[in-house]
Amino acid sequence: MDPNSNIVLIGMPGAGKSTVGVLLAKRLNFSFLDTDIMIQTREGRSLQKILQIRGPAGFCDLEEQYILSISTTAHVIAPGGSVVYRHRAMEHLGTGGVLIHLDIKLNRLKKRLDDMDARGVVLAAGQKLEDLYAERQPLYVKYAHARVSTDGMTPEQVVGKIERLLSRI
Query: Does residue 1 form part of some domain?
Result: no
Q: State the pLDDT at residue 96.
A: 80
Q: Answer yes or no: is pLDDT of 115 > 70.
A: no
Query: Does residue 16 form part of some domain?
Result: yes
* Nearest-angstrom CA–CA distance, 154 and 160: 10
Q: State the pLDDT at residue 76.
A: 97
Query: Does residue 92 form part of some domain?
Result: yes
Q: Containing H/E element for 107?
A: helix 106-112
Query: Does residue 110 form part of some domain?
Result: yes
Q: What pLDDT, in 10s, does the model give residues 37-54?
A: 999 999 999 988 998 899
Q: What is the mean predicted confidence (pLDDT) over 161-165?
A: 95
CATH code of residue 16:
3.40.50.300
Read off the pLDDT band of 121 (50, 70, 90): low
- Is 47:62 a contact under the CB 8 Å cutoff? no
Distance, CA of 87 to chain centre = 14
Domain span at 94: 6-167
Query: Does residue 20 form part of some domain?
Result: yes
Predicted TM-score (pTM) of the model is: 0.92
Q: What is the mean predicted confidence (pLDDT) over 109-125?
A: 64
Q: What pLDDT, in 10s, does the model give residues 7-31?
A: 999 999 889 999 999 999 999 999 9
Decide: helix, strand or coil at residue 142. Answer: helix
Q: How many domains does the chain have?
A: 1
Quick count: other Cβ atoms within 10 Å of Cβ 46? 15
Query: Does residue 37 form part of some domain?
Result: yes
- Is 133:141 a contact under the CB 8 Å cutoff? no
